[in-house]
A and B are shown apart, each in its own frame.
Chain A
Amino acid sequence: MKMRGLPGKIGFALSVFALISPAILVFLWMLSLAFKNEVDNTAFPPVFIPNPPTLDNFRAVFEKNNFFHYAWNSIIVSFTATGLALLLGVPAGFGIAKSKASKAAALIMIARVTPGLSYLIPLFLIFQWLGLTGTLTPIIITHLVITVPIVVWVMIGFFEGLPAELEEAALVDGATIWQAFRFVALPLARPGVTVAMILSFIFSWNNFIFGVVLAGRTTRTLPVAVYNVLTFEQISWGPLAAAALLVTAPVLLLTLLMQKEIVAGLTAGGVKGG
Chain B
Amino acid sequence: MSATLAVAAAQAKTKTSNYARIYWPFVVPAGLLVFAIIIAPWVFTLIMSVHEWKVGEDPAFVGLENYIRLFNDSRFQWAILRTVYFTTLAVLFPMVLGIAAAVCFHKNFPFRGLARTIFILPMMATPVAVALVWTMMFHPQLGVLNYLLTSIGLPASEWSYNAVSVIPTLVLVETWQWTPLVMLIVLGGLASLPQDPYEAAKLDGASSWQMFRHITLPLVWPHIIVALVIRTIDALKAFDTIFVISNGGPGTASETLNIFLYQTAFAYYNMGYASAITVVFFILIMLVSLVLFSARQKTTFQ
Contacts from A to B (Cβ < 8 Å): 1, 3, 12-13, 15-16, 19-20, 22-24, 26-27, 29-30, 33, 42, 44-46, 87-89, 91-92, 94-96, 98-101, 104, 107-108, 110-126, 128, 141-142, 144-145, 148, 152, 177, 181, 202, 205-206, 208-209, 212-213, 222-224, 226-227, 231, 237, 240-241, 244-245, 247-248, 251-252, 254-256, 259, 262-263, 266-268, 270, 272, 274
Interchain CB contact under 8 A, A263 and B234: no
Contact of A92 among B31, B121, B125, B188 (CB under 8 A): B31
Given A27, A101, A222, which contacts B121 in the complex, CB threshold below 8 Å? A27
Quick one: given A117-B278, A121-B275, A268-B188, are A91 and B239 in contact (CB under 8 Å)? no
A-B contacts counted at CB < 8 A amount to 263
Does any Cβ of A come within 8 Å of B126's Cβ? yes
A251: contacting residue among B124, B137, B184, CB under 8 A: B124
Q: Known contacts A213-B266, A223-B128, A244-B133; is A144 also within 8 Å of B107 by CB? A: no
Main secondary structure of the interface of A (DSSP, over half): helix
> Contact: B101 with A19, CB < 8 Å?
yes
Residue interface bits B276-294, CB-to-A below 8 A is 1, else 0: 0010011001100100000
Q: Which residues of B have CB within 8 Å of A262?
A: 120, 124
- Indicate if the CB atoms of B104 and A16 lie closer than 8 Å: yes
A20-B119, A244-B132 known; A1-B211 Cβ under 8 A: yes
Contacts of A3 in B (CB 8 A): 107
B200 in contact (CB, < 8 A): no
Contact among B24, B127, B240, B286 for A99, CB-based, below 8 A: B24
Point out the residue from B27, B120, B133, B198 that lies within 8 Å of A95, measured CB to CB.
B27
Q: Which of B69-110 contact A (CB under 8 A)?
A: 97, 100-101, 104, 107, 109
B217 to chain A minimum Cβ distance, whole angstroms, is 14
A residues near B123, Cβ cutoff 8 Å = 272
Q: Specify which chain B residues have a CB less than 8 angstroms from the CB of A99 in the assembled complex.
A: 19-20, 22-24, 27
User: In the docked arrangement, what's the CA distance between A144 and B144, Å?
Assistant: 39
Q: Does A44 contact B147, Cβ atoms closer than 8 Å?
A: yes
Interface residue ranges of B142-157 to A (CB < 8 Å)? 142, 144, 147, 151
- Inter-chain CA distance A141–B37, complex, in Å, is 8
Q: How far is the CA of A255 from the CA of B142 in the complex (A)?
A: 32
Instruction: Give every chain A residue within 8 A of B227 (Cβ-Cβ).
Output: 270
Residues of B within 8 A of A20 (CB): 115, 118-119
B233 at the interface (CB under 8 A from A): yes
Contact status A240-B136, CB under 8 Å: yes
A16 touches B29 (CB 8 A): no
Cβ contact of A144, chosen from B26, B33, B151, cutoff 8 A: B33
Q: Is B11 an interface residue (CB 8 A)?
A: no
Residues 248-269 (chain B) with a chain A CB within 8 angstroms:
258, 261-262, 265-266
- Do A12 and B147 have beta carbons less than 8 Å apart? no
Pick from B34, B45, B113: contact of A111, CB below 8 A.
Answer: B34
